[in-house]
Chains A and B, each alone.
Chain A
Amino acid sequence: MKNHHIIFTRLAAIFFIVCGVLGGIAVLPAFAQTSNTNESASQISEIKDKIRQLFELQDSTTIPQQDKDTQEFKLRRTTLTLIVETALKQTSAARDEFKKVQLPNSDDWKQIHDSILSSFETSLAYYRDIEDRIDTDSTLTSALLKNIARDMEQKKVSEIDPLIKKSHAIVAAFNVSDMLKIADERLIKIKLDVDQIYTQKLTRSQTLKQLFEKASTTLNDAHDLNTVSKEIILNAYTTSENGSSTEYINTLYKKLKFEEKTLASSTQTTNDISRPDSAIIETYLQKIITDSITHIKSAYDIFMKMSSNVKAYLK
């Protein structure tokens, strides 16, 4: 008997340890994402601090000019190194997230996938080259560091940041698709329960039915938004010469510009509303991805209301 008790205790301990480890692994991605964001925020803060130190050094009238020049060079080099490290981590993280996405098995999507991955590798190589140069080039001066910073800022704003935003949009759109699969399965299960309740005449109230209709409509809207977001991605991000894609994007652009002008005239704003095409479309894409996520959240709020509603019928 004593031996059985010991064996049972050990098995129970092993069971709880395994559950704890599996539970930890399950929530790890959420924590990893949070720690990436926190690390990036602290690096940005450190960069700002270094720049402030640089300006304070330049503002100083007590430090001899020669010492000032030496310290300025060191500060510039340190700050630029920090910026390159931060940019490398951001780009690398975005590339890794993009690699995990399962895109549809079609030529168009494969072309977008290969093009974005290739651009990521080029961007990472660019940042590594700068990092090596700052580290090893003994002929660098403050003026050369300024040039490197200028070139990097232009390349980042015009090419690398838009690339990362595209990859984020693709990752988000396909992750929303996965969330919608879970929500759809829940809706099907709930429909079975709702049908059962009304068949068994457990209630005469139509509230449950109305809530179900509302949840169903909300999820349909989320699906529509998700479908449109993927259409925009497919047409806007293609690199091939495609007449239909160009036409799609032009039509969308005109529609968005018209809506923007209508809104601008109705609010009597004098802001300049002419922006590059891609910015309007990117902003719209982000908006509809965010809206699709909001719709899924609303659907689950309705599910919870329905669940509370059902308990009353069984009293």
Chain B
Amino acid sequence: MKLNHKEIIEQLEQFRRIQPRAEFSEQSKSLILSSPRLSPELATPISWVTRLQYGMSSVLRIGSFVSVGLSILIISLYATRELSPVLFPGLSPQSITAEAEMLTSSMNIELSRLGYFDTASQESSAALKQLSQKQLNHLNDTIIGSEVTTIQKSTQSSPDETSQINNLINQLSN
């Protein structure tokens, strides 16, 4: 429906008279007053406590920048020395140590393989000889040898016992 100029003006006059309900106004006002302030400077005048807090946070900010700067300086000085592996990778102690450990393990395997086999093969060859040769039942050097060892152990006092006895004698004589 087309409105003429006069009717449009009348409708706008009606819109001007629109107002919120009283209780809605009260509710909105209390909500606005209870919400946190975003800009303290625009709110109530700043107290000395607040000014102190601001001052300290500035000091902290400056202090943290200085600390970071100093840390970077110290780290770079330390790292320059410790970065020798990066600056001189061939002489990196970590690389050399790791290589040396790996090679040492291989070397020890080779050396033990070369050395141990001689002993092991001699032992088993000796065992085969003992199994194959005619042995006298009683004049057997293995049996006699083990008996000698047993006798020696039973007649000797241990070095620890000997030194204990000597200590006791010393104490008695003093």
- Compute how far the CA of A52 lies from the CA of B130 in the bound complex, rounded to whole angstroms: 10
Q: Is the CB of A79 within 8 A of B131?
A: yes
As a 0/1 sequence over residues 78 to 97 of chain B, the CB contacts with chain A under 8 angstroms (1 = contact) are: 00110010011111110111
Contacts of B103 in A (CB 8 A): 179, 182-183, 296-297, 300
In the docked arrangement, what's the CA distance between A178 and B105, Å?
Answer: 13
Provide the residues of chain A in CB contact with B84, threshold 8 Å.
310-311, 314
Kindly list chain A residues whose C-beta atoms are within 8 Å of the C-beta of B120: 40-41, 44, 90
Q: Which of B80, B97, B117 is A168 in contact with, Cβ under 8 Å?
A: B117
Decide if B50 is an interface residue (CB 8 Å cutoff): no
Instruction: State whether the Cβ of B142 lies closer than 8 Å to any Cβ in chain A.
Output: yes
B157: Cβ under 8 A from any A Cβ: no
Nearest neighbor of A197 in chain B, beta-carbon distance? B88
Task: Tell whether B106 is near chain A: CB-to-CB under 8 Å.
Answer: yes
- Residue among A169, A186, A315 making CB contact with B99, cutoff 8 Å: A186
Interface size on B, residues (CB 8 A): 48
Say yes or no: is B127 at the interface (Cβ < 8 Å to chain A): yes
Q: A193-B91, A296-B107, A297-B107 are in contact. Are A59 and B132 (CB under 8 A)?
A: no
Q: Are A76 and B131 in contact (CB under 8 A)?
A: yes
State the CA gap A27–B105 with chains docked (Å).
9
CB–CB A164/B121 < 8 A: yes
Known contacts A33-B113, A52-B146; is A192 also within 8 Å of B90 by CB?
Answer: yes
**Main SS of chain A's interface residues?**
helix
Tell me which residues across on chain B come within 8 A of A179, comparing CB atoms: 103, 106-107
Q: Which of these binds chain B: A4-12, A80-88, A116-124, A258-266?
A: A80-88
Q: For the side of the interface on A, what is the size category?
A: 35 or more
A306:B142 contact, CB within 8 angstroms: no
Smallest beta-carbon distance A193→chain B, Å = 4
A147:B132 contact, CB within 8 angstroms: yes
Answer whether residue A217 sits at the interface, using C-beta atoms and an 8 A cutoff. Answer: no
Which A217-261 residues sit within 8 Å CB-CB of chain B?
Answer: none
Instruction: Report yes or no: B107 in contact with A314, Cβ–Cβ below 8 A.
Output: no
Residues of chain B within 8 A of A67, CB atoms compared: none
Q: Is B143 part of the contact surface with A, judged by Cβ < 8 Å? A: yes
How many angstroms from the CA of A97 to the CA of B112 in the assembled complex? 14
CB neighbours (8 Å) of B80 from chain A are 314
A55 close to B124 (CB less than 8 A):
no
Instruction: State the Cβ distance, B96 to closest chain A Cβ, in Å.
Output: 5
B→A interface (CB under 8 Å): 80-81, 84, 87-93, 95-97, 99-100, 103-107, 109-114, 116-118, 120-121, 123-125, 127-133, 135, 137-138, 140, 142-143, 146
What residues make up the interface of A, taking CB atoms closer than 8 Å to B? 27, 29-30, 33, 37, 40-41, 44, 47-48, 51-52, 54-56, 58-59, 76, 79-80, 83, 86-87, 90, 97, 145-147, 149-150, 152-153, 156-157, 161, 164-165, 168-169, 171-172, 175-176, 178-179, 182-183, 186, 188-194, 196-197, 286, 289-290, 293, 296-297, 300, 303-304, 306-308, 310-311, 314-315
